[in-house]
A and B are shown apart, each in its own frame.
Chain A
Amino acid sequence: AQRVTQPEKLLSVFKGAPVELKCNYSYSGSPELFWYVQYSRQRLQLLLRHISRESIKGFTADLNKGETSFHLKKPFAQEEDSAMYYCALSAPAGGTSYGKLTFGQGTILTVHP
């Protein structure tokens, strides 16, 4: 069974400090991994995909297959980064369940001034 675990429900940092949101997954094979973000009073939106290897709003995430992790990092947190962050997993393209996302429990990030 596929599973996504975000061990931290809450994470607080000060503005300018580095931040790392942890995500561990369980999957037999090579999944696709995503980070979604939900800002206050806004809808959930895609932040980044591991396939794209992109950096969005200064965030990056590296897939570590050995540790089955996909941690989200930002070197200098900003107050506007305060939000709920979800890590999510999908079967790879071509799989029968491709498209269905399994979400972690979410981490609420608060960046203090």
Chain B
Amino acid sequence: NAGVTQTPKFQVLKTGQSMTLQCAQDMNHNSMYWYRQDPGMGLRLIYYSASEGTTDKGEVPNGYNVSRLNKREFSLRLESAAPSQTSVYFCASSERGREDYGYTFGSGTRLTVV
């Protein structure tokens, strides 16, 4: 049971390059999320998808786009990477209403923009 799988685990980009972070979950969760983790800032929500076919901005959406490809997959795209986007990115999924409700996180993608 893989849970939430993120790829790649590490990436180095040059300023202006684009890339897509992939996330897939196998728990049949409706909701999926992208967070970034920065020292002293905690985790900040970039975008989320409450259910298949819907996406909404979170706290820090600028410079990012997302696609909820299907119920399993939720990708995050950086169209033109900037050094300020150097961070660790976490994907998570959850299912509202469950007694054991809580986020299941991926292992993270460490992105460096030079």
Residues of A within 8 A of B (CB): 4, 6, 9, 34, 36, 43-46, 49, 86, 93, 98-106
Chain B count of residues within 8 A CB distance of the other chain: 24
In the complex, the answer to whether B105 meets A103 with C-beta atoms within 8 Å is no
- The 9 A-B pairs of least Cβ separation, nearest first, read A46-B102, A103-B43, A44-B105, A105-B42, A103-B42, A43-B107, A43-B105, A99-B31, A99-B96
Q: Are A98 and B96 in contact (CB under 8 A)?
A: yes
Give complex CA distance A26, B111 in Å: 31
Q: Does B58 contact A (CB under 8 A)?
A: yes
Residues of chain B within 8 A (CB-CB) of A34 are 102
- Interface residues in B9-40 by Cβ distance below 8 A to A read 31, 33, 35, 40
Q: Is the CB of B40 within 8 A of A100?
A: no
Shortest Cβ distance from residue B35 to the other chain A in the assembled complex, whole angstroms:
8
Q: How long is the Cα–Cα vector from A34 to B102 in the complex, in angstroms?
A: 8
